[in-house]
Amino acid sequence: MEDPILVIDYDVDWPILYEQEKIQILNALDNTIANIQHIGSTSVPGLAAKPVIDILLGVEHVPPQAAQIAALEALGYYYCGELGISGRHYFRRGMPRTHQIHLVKLDSQFWETHLLFRDFLRTHPDAAQQYAVLKRNLAVKFRADRERYTNSKAPLIEQMLVQARTWRDAYSTSNLPRKIL
């Protein structure tokens, strides 16, 4: 059975919980990952979120190796395969869920999009607030229907990703060295 959807106020312990889990994962995987990042709403200071620590693992090759799966299972994670998202290998821990891992190829579209969205929300508090209001409303409306909750967030997320790409491109361009004439 799926956990009910519950969106709560930001918890200052979420970054600490991520850092503690990061150490456990790095030790368990013994340098078989290229990068690890805290993503999702719990990674955005001040943002209301489902109390689930989202972890993005970037690896050189997917699917995960049997030893990687076994190491994460030893930490209490349950491997769910791609679970409907090609190239993303999903692990969850806890009942109710407390942590989830998205294992993907480093620099894949999934990798880039999730980091861009996180960074955009971290640097645009008005967008983060707009997203929080939507999530709270949808969590009440679709408390027991995760698919409808997720699908109903998609239009705003896509709109914000367009803004985020514009922001990223402008930021990247503005920091390029200027040619002296």
**157 in a structural domain:** yes
**7 in a structural domain:** no
Q: Which of 15-24, 26-35, 123-132 has the lowest mean pLDDT?
A: 26-35
| Structural domain range at position 64 | 14-167
Question: According to the model, what pLDDT value does residue 171 have?
Answer: 80
**121 in a structural domain:** yes
The tally of domains found in the chain comes to 1
**75 in a structural domain:** yes
**51 in a structural domain:** yes
- Which residues, 6 or more positions from 103, have their beta carbon under 8 angstroms from its beta carbon? 57, 59, 62, 64, 68, 88, 89, 90, 91
**87 in a structural domain:** yes
Q: Note the pLDDT tens digit of each residue in 133-148.
A: 999 999 999 988 989 9
Report the alpha-carbon distance of residue 53 to residue 36 in Å, rounded: 13
Q: Note the pLDDT tens digit of each residue in 28-53.
A: 998 888 899 999 999 999 999 999 99
**1 in a structural domain:** no
**175 in a structural domain:** no
pTM: 0.90
The residues facing 38 across adjacent strands are 55
Question: According to the model, what pLDDT value does residue 10 have?
Answer: 97
CATH of the domain at 142: 3.30.460.10
Report the alpha-carbon distance of residue 149 to residue 174 in Å, rounded: 37
